[in-house]
Structure 1
């Protein structure tokens, strides 16, 4: 299987699992209030890039790799500070899923960024040659 396809599948799968993970955490596994809490709404921002990630949209993967870092911070804070052991484990699970998404997204984007740098260098060389003539 082509490596970019593997990275795309990894990013898409980890994003979908993260959404399910966060919903399960706040609604069933360790909700702040019995029956679930409004903290489950924190998955809404993750739904915004889902379609673009599934379609391999480069721009969406770029900005979502920055958005996902908010969930990294939340997972670290809750993993370190929650009193409930299950909730702490869910926080560390969130961190792991975010790291998988982030790594897969960056590895998927690497060839595109490399090609963009090459094109920019070529254009700059053309401009420099045109101005020196």
Structure 2
């Protein structure tokens, strides 16, 4: 039986392969979730660089949040990354949940990003 890290990496790679097929030149909204923080980046895979990013460790978010590891923090990061993306001229992205289930913090971040104006 594979350990949980190998299973996570398999899921992440499977999601990444399907995203590359469906991207059609759109940038990728990539999520990383740790036990204490959550991070979001919009990445242009064609050029290989990050367009915008947001996380719960930033000063403007850190002071207003109770903790960086709850649904409210994830929603705040989703709104912030959507605002920064619209300022950078990005409207449509492909959502890369990584190997995480679309549930809880990941779902809250995605819904907040949609409310902020990102389309995926």
Same fold (TM over 0.5): no
Per the normalisation by structure 2, the TM-score is: 0.31
Larger Rg: 1
Structure with greater proportional helix content: 1
Per the normalisation by structure 1, the TM-score is: 0.28
Structure with greater proportional strand content: 2
